[in-house]
């Protein structure tokens, strides 16, 4: 017996060909950026304990590994350094060393692979002994303007080294405009800025801090400069300011907990929108998979698809190499 119905949405879902033809959102490896950790302290890849399946790579092996990732279809990489603790200072001076590992790696990768996009992080937390994203004033607070001055100088070094895109992740006020000015004055008119425009003070960053050695074995309170997860309107203001200062791409971080902010950005700005599926998002799904509670790969793809559906044009994700053959 059948009921006479005018609307049967299942008609489009019943046929496999129609299902594939009517997909509203398609995820591609071209949408994904792979974050990579590098160090000059190690001679072989070292797995990050809190991020199973993700490694910190020695400088000597990174070119060969990047070639393997390129073969899998990945074309964009975001580089994060793990700095020797002996080189860390209160003011993060190592970030202004043109021979520092993050610049050495960029020169090496770009001299071998000109067809990829290399993204350089701009922040002081890998370089400071206290783990904050900037230099501290006499009261122990991050000094906005002194930090911006250092990041602007570092941006020129990064562009000189070959980074195609610079990603200030510090959440200092006004840094996008100052960095853009420094790049222009030094001839780097083609270097893009992908600003961490709405970076929230999230509990999902712990594994990343382990990876770059910035945890100091104690919590670091960054609520004085990163956004409160409770604040939507404040996030929209930060997006607007970075857009007006000349950012080429606006990023929201973390991704899945802030799909509403990604959706807002997509609907209100005419430039590309990025989202960072952060270390805690990766570790949450991976840990459940290792325990047999979830199919980690399928959940990763579902999460990434939701981020793209919300409006992200590109997604930084530690799953990029793990899902490359499945999307």
Instruction: State how far the Cα of 12 lies from the Cα of 17, in Å rounded to an integer.
Output: 9
Identified catalytic residue from 199, 222, 308, 322: 199
Instruction: State how far the Cα of 209 lies from the Cα of 217, in Å rounded to an integer.
Output: 10
Active site residue 199: yes
Q: H/E/C letters for each residue in the chain?
A: CCCCCCCCCCHHHHCHHHHHHCCCCCCCHHHEEEEEEEECCCCCCEECCCCCCCEEEEHHHHHHHHHHHHHCCCCEEEEEEECCHHHCECCCHHHHCCCCHHHHHHHHHHHHCCCCEEEEEECCCCCECCCCCCCECCCCCECHHHHHHHHHHHHHHHHHHCCCEEEECCCCCCHHHHHHHHHHHCCCCCCEEEEEEEEECCHHHHHHHHHHCCCCCCCCCCCCCCECCCCCHHHHHHHHHHHHCCCCEEEEECCHHHHHHHHHHHHHCCCCEEEEECHHHHHHHHHHHHCCCCCHHHHHHHHHHHHHHHCCCEEEECCHHHHHHHC
Active site residue 46: no
- Specify the residue for token string 């922040």: 123
Identified catalytic residue from 82, 87, 88, 253: 253
As annotated, the active-site residues are: 199, 253
């Amino acid at each position: 017996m059948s009921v006479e119905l005018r609307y049967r949405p299942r008609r489009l879902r019943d046929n496999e060909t129609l299902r594939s033809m009517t997909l509203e959102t398609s995820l591609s490896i071209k949408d994904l950026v792979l974050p990579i950790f590098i160090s000059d302290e190690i001679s072989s890849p070292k797995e990050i304990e809190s991020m199973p399946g993700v490694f910190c790579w020695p400088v000597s092996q990174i070119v060969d590994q990047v070639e393997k990732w390129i073969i899998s279809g990945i074309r964009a990489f975001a580089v994060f350094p793990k700095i020797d603790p002996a080189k860390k200072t209160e003011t993060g001076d190592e970030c202004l060393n043109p021979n520092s590992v993050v610049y050495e790696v960029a020169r090496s990768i770009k001299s071998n692979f000109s067809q990829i996009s290399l993204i350089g992080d701009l922040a002081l937390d890998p370089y400071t002994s206290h783990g904050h994203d900037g230099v501290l004033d006499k009261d122990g607070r991050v000094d906005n303007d002194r930090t911006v001055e250092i990041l602007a100088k570092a941006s020129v070094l990064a562009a000189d080294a070959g980074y195609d895109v610079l990603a200030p992740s510090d959440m200092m006020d006004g840094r996008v405009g100052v960095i853009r000015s420094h790049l222009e004055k030094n001839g780097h008119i083609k270097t893009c800025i992908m600003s961490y425009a709405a970076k929230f003070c999230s509990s999902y960053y712990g594994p990343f801090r382990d990876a770059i050695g910035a945890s100091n074995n104690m919590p670091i309170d960054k609520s004085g400069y990163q956004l409160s997860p409770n604040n939507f309107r404040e996030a929209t203001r930060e997006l607007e300011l970075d857009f007006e200062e000349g950012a080429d791409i606006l990023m929201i971080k973390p991704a899945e907990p802030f799909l509403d902010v990604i959706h807002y950005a997509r609907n209100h700005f005419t430039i590309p929108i990025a989202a960072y599926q952060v270390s805690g998002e990766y570790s949450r799904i991976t840990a459940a998979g290792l325990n047999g509670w979830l199919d980690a790969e399928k959940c990763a793809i579902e999460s990434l698809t939701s981020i793209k559906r919300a409006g992200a044009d590109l997604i930084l994700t530690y799953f990029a190499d793990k899902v490359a053959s499945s999307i």
